[in-house]
Amino acid sequence: MDSFRIENKYKVELAKLDEVYKFLGDNSAEELYPKRFIKSIYFDNDIFSSYNHSIEGIVPRKKTRIRTYSRDDIYNKKNLFSLENKINSVEGRYKTVKKNIEHLKLLNQGIYDNNYGLIFPKVEISYYREYYSLFNLRITFDTKIDYKIFNEKSLKINFEECVLEVKSNNLDNMNYIDDNIFFMKTRFSKYCNAVEKLNLI
């Protein structure tokens, strides 16, 4: 389990990508890992309780997903997936991760959740992520974000903005970013945005 953390998100228009890289360069941000592809499949129940709790800001709330860094077909048995729960509680935000799961079983049978009952895969979200470190902050930058309904090949929607995420256990470091970056802070959720863009609710 990750420790409790502070997390801010910023939406960035495609036309302003260069401003992000300038900010990172001017502040000597260190690249932590090479840019990589991410695919996440989010689970919810038939009345989209996870989505609704997120929109309403209910605490505690949870998002459940399985994640891979492979571009292979998701039904390929050799794919390595992790099961992740992102939890917002009264105490703060944290994430649990279980690696190398039997993802095919979860895709076919769903997952039982104590809060939401039986949940099934609803949306598939893919994007490219870059990783940086700056003043003990972990900064990720997501581009080329695509949404699709799980198991439907025909409909794919491109999200025409990018998402900058900043995570830390130190509020002072977060304040430096807020004071020196000129993008709109948002409660943006890829999952919630996908549900809305794909007209699932």
What homologous superfamily does CATH list for 6-197? Answer: VTC, catalytic tunnel domain (3.20.100.30)
Could you state, in order of their start, the residue ranges of all structural domains in the chain?
A: 6-197
Distance CA 1, CA 56 (A): 25
> For residues 13 and 16, what is the distance between their CA atoms, to the nearest angstrom?
5
- pLDDT, tens digit, for every residue of 8-63? 899 898 888 899 899 899 999 999 999 999 999 999 999 999 999 999 999 999 99
Question: How does pLDDT run across 105-153, given as a tens digit for each residue?
Answer: 999 999 999 999 999 999 999 999 999 998 888 999 999 999 999 998 7
What is the distance between the alpha carbons of residues 28 and 168, in angstroms, rounded to a whole number?
Answer: 18
- The reported pTM is 0.91
